[in-house]
Amino acid sequence: MATTVHSGSSIQSSTQRKPLVLVADDQPHILEALELLLEPEGFRIETARSPLMVLEALKSETYDALLIDLNYTRDTTSGKEGLDLLSQIKAHDSQMPVIVMTAWANVEVAVEAMRRGAQDFVQKPWDNARLLAILRTQIDLHHAVRRAQRLEAENRLLRADGLPEMIASAPSMQQVLATIARIGPSDANVMITGEHGTGKEVVAQTLHALSSRASRSLVAVNTGALPEGTFESELFGHVKGAFTDARTERIGRFELADGGTLFLDEIANVPLRQQAKLLRVLETGEMERVGSSKTRRVDVRVLSATNADLHAEAEAGRFRPDLLFRLNTVEIHLPPLRERREDIPALAAHFLARYVQRYRKQVSGLDAGAIQAMLLHAWPGNVRELDHTIERAVLMARGPQIETADLGLSPGRISSQGLEEMSLESVESILIRKALSRSAGNVSQAAEALGLSRGALYRRMEKYGI
């Protein structure tokens, strides 16, 4: 089919691509009619014939808008199927533009659809011009909001207003920063993965600070440290007399985080029996305190973290796949420190400034030998280990600069990463620091040894923060 772009459409120019619309209806002739209408007008169309197919499609694709029917089972007219589907779509992405349609239009169904988040309502048979106008308007608005949120998130990251400091210039961290800026303003649940000590909690703090919930609480709980017997009480609270030691009423972490963000660390360690209770809250937003039959509603964004492979855990039957789906709307993987060595000098300087102030030590920096030792260290404990290493070095330092011996790094913990596996920037930084160390800081001698001009060496020193 030849595709043309409607001259009046602003969608093409604003996004530089055809907007993708998911159309859902159980009647094939309706889907065909909408394809015939929308494709020549510059839209890409995907179709679904049931609510389940819609939800499956949302797992693997990002749409610019959804156009969904309200009835899918033969002879039904209540619109309940479509309204339930609408609620599930909005739980997946609260900002997704959804236009609902039905041949059984009435004021009550229209009002309920709008209440659940629909952007507009179309009655079958539709008016072509009105349907096209609604789609274009809602998609343009959606793109404008997304752009504004993305720009604001990027600006806030750059300004670091009240945010935890994200030190990340290594190439392996750029996708992480871009994802944080893109999804921070949303309400999407995020799974943060990575080895111990890679900075998962800092990412969670940054996501919360970038969101519309930043003025409310970020409540963190190490789920792996909760005994199974107190898990429900800690997360959902309990009423007085619920069990032997329940002498007073207790508010759980979900209620404390109501309107804000809940950070569930070590999520892989939650016992299977408790996973079902956690899933219910994520699906419905409803919970009861232990010992109470009163249902409470909570509005919580959930961020979770683990160093385990939850997909493998789910395949092995140790983690519920449906819970995993709820938790990882978006997944952010943090690389280990050995894969982002370019950030080591800047991270070390950050921790040094913190501990010099805390312990009131007269230490001005790290000498070239200490930096070289850090660049070559394996860092099995990642950024957390680097933090503790610098704290120890500040306490042990006897001169104005931290030396290699002050770091206390084990000689056996040299990285197994060969030069051929390191980035060019990491190797160049190591060679420059080594040359400066041999020349006792004389830039002219170091430049001559490296075969560089003074100006070229100064530019590289500025690039690597030397």
How is 47-74 classified by DSSP, letter by letter? EESSHHHHHHHHHH---SEEEEES--ST
Evaluate if pTM is beyond 0.75: no
Q: What homologous superfamily is domain 167-335 in, according to CATH?
A: P-loop containing nucleotide triphosphate hydrolases (3.40.50.300)
Q: What is the 3-state secondary structure (H, E, C) of 244-296?
A: CCCCCCEECHHHHCCCCEEEEECHHHCCHHHHHHHHHHHHHCEECCECCCCCE
Kindly state the tokens that stand for 181. 């800026």
Which amino acid appears at position 436 of this protein?
L
Cα angle value 351/353/355 (rounded, 5°): 70
- Say which DSSP state 337 is in: G
d(CA 202, CA 351): 14
Q: Does the fold of domain 338-463 match that of domain 11-148?
A: no
CA distances from 359 to 165, 355, 356, 362, 437 (A): 21, 6, 5, 9, 28
Tens-digit pLDDT profile for the chain (466 aa)?
333 223 333 333 333 478 999 999 999 999 999 999 999 999 999 999 999 999 988 887 888 999 998 888 776 777 888 899 998 888 877 788 999 987 765 667 877 888 888 888 888 888 899 999 999 988 988 887 777 655 655 554 444 445 567 888 888 898 999 999 999 999 999 999 999 999 999 999 999 999 989 888 899 999 878 887 788 888 998 877 667 676 777 888 999 899 999 999 999 988 888 899 899 999 999 888 888 888 888 999 999 999 999 999 999 999 999 999 999 999 999 999 999 988 898 899 899 999 999 999 999 888 888 888 898 888 989 999 999 999 999 999 998 999 999 998 876 555 544 445 556 666 677 778 777 767 767 778 888 777 778 777 777 777 766 6
Domain 11-148 falls under CATH 3.40.190.10:
no
Kindly list the domain boundaries of the chain, sorted by start residue: 11-148, 167-335, 338-463
Give the right CATH number for 338-463 from 1.10.8.60, 2.10.240.10, 3.90.226.10, 1.10.10.10. Answer: 1.10.8.60
Contacts for 408-414: CB closer than 8 Å, 24+ residues apart: 409/373, 409/374, 409/377, 413/377, 413/378, 413/379, 413/380, 414/376, 414/377, 414/378
Which residue in 175, 189, 188, 157 sits closest to 303, CA to CA? 189
d(CA 34, CA 235): 47
Q: What is the pLDDT of residue 153?
A: 52
Residue 250 CA, chain-centre distance (Å), reads: 31
Which residue in 123, 98, 124, 120 sits closest to 111, CA to CA? 120
d(CA 20, CA 35): 12
Beta-bridge mates of residue 401:
365
* Burial category of 39 from C-beta neighbours within 10 Å (exposed 0-12, middle 13-18, buried 19 and up): middle
- CB within 8 Å of 143: residues ≥ 6 apart: 11, 14, 15, 64
Question: Is the distance from CB of 49 to CB of 92 less than 8 angstroms?
Answer: no
| 125 prior amide bond cis, ω within 30 | yes
Residue 285 CA, chain-centre distance (Å), reads: 20
Q: What is the pLDDT of residue 150?
A: 58
Beta-bridge mates of residue 67:
23, 99
Q: How many CB atoms lie within 10 A of CB 377?
A: 22
Kindly state the tokens that stand for 380. 């099995």
Taking every pair of C-alpha atoms in the chain, what is the biggest distance, in angstroms? 87
